[in-house]
């Protein structure tokens, strides 16, 4: 069962931008040792827009191989082309993922009917569990609750990553979605509250650098222990905020390099974290007792 702290894993790269598979293996082991409940490979945080098809599936396959069934692996397979999303989802399924995460089509701004038909087409073409991903701040496209409910009727569409950042939207989804439909927070800053209210987990950027703390907070929230969950979350709030001081995954990759877990490689059009932001992210790492 996919639940709890699911890390939206970065894709480590060398200074030249090549994928660093040795560092990827180390990151997977780091998360397994830290108790992370699941891994999303090649989502937005994994720089999916700048990986070609072979790289995209190669990273997913390597994560699956390294995890070796110990925790669930979710492949990021969304695209703004329905045909491409189908191809990625089939390939990730063949690589052995437990589920796929499909972002709403970005830039081309489909209607709600277009969104419904897009996700239905992918679900019908690739019979693997699929989690929808709504992040309007990045896609200029908002998957409305009525459309989520229509899609939840499709057997292999099993959940939603909600990155609207809205507790009101969260309350609406909890009230209206089927009880067995998986809801994950896509916003670290409100994840504890959403899990206390009934979400089953968080797909987390913060978990890249603070996996043990995110696991502990998630387990407390899922157990309904409000006081403990919020106490564990408090030292992480600066990370939740400041890992977005520039576009994700710029700050989190810099933070991982600062912790000597990866090299500071990133691909254009993203650039390394601005020097003016270094102290901000360092302070957040210190607040979480990571430095």
Instruction: Please check if 145 is assigned to a binding site.
Output: no
Q: Which of 106, 161, 199, 253 is an active site residue?
A: 161
Indicate if 21 belongs to the active site. Answer: no
Instruction: Please check if 203 is assigned to a binding site.
Output: yes
Indicate if 253 belongs to the active site. Answer: no
CB-neighbour burial class of residue 121 (10 A; exposed 0-12, middle 13-18, buried 19+):
middle
The answer to whether 266 touches 272, Cβ cutoff 8 Å, is yes
- Binding residue numbers for pyruvate: 45, 203
Residue ranges of the binding site: 45, 203
Catalytic residue numbers, as ranges: 133, 161
């Amino acid at each position: 069962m996919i639940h709890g702290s699911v890390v939206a894993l970065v894709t480590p790269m060398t200074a030249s931008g090549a994928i660093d598979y040795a560092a990827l293996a180390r990151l997977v082991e780091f998360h397994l040792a830290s108790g992370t409940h699941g891994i999303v490979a090649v989502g937005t945080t994994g720089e999916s827009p700048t990986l070609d098809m072979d790289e995209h599936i190669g990273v997913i396959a390597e994560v699956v191989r390294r995890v070796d069934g110990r925790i669930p692996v979710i492949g990021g397979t969304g695209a703004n082309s329905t045909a491409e999303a189908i191809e990625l989802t089939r390939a990730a399924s063949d690589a052995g993922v437990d589920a796929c995460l499909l972002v709403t089509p970005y830039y081309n701004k489909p209607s709600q009917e277009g969104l419904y038909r897009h996700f239905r087409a992918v679900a019908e073409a690739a019979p693997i569990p699929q989690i929808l991903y709504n992040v309007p701040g990045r896609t200029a496209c908002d998957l409305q609750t009525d459309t989520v409910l229509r899609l939840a009727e499709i057997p292999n569409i099993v959940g939603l990553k909600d990155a609207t950042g809205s507790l009101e939207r969260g309350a609406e989804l909890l009230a209206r979605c089927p009880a067995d439909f998986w809801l994950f927070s896509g916003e670290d800053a409100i994840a504890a509250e959403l899990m206390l209210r009934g979400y089953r987990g968080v797909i987390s950027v913060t978990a890249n650098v603070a996996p043990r703390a995110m696991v502990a907070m998630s387990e407390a929230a899922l157990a309904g222990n409000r006081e403990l969950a919020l106490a564990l979350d408090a030292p992480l709030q600066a990370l939740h905020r400041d890992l977005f001081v520039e576009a994700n995954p710029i700050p989190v990759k810099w933070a991982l390099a600062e912790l000597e877990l990866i090299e500071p490689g990133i691909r254009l059009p993203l650039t390394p974290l601005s020097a003016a932001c270094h102290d901000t992210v360092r302070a957040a790492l210190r607040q979480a007792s990571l430095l």
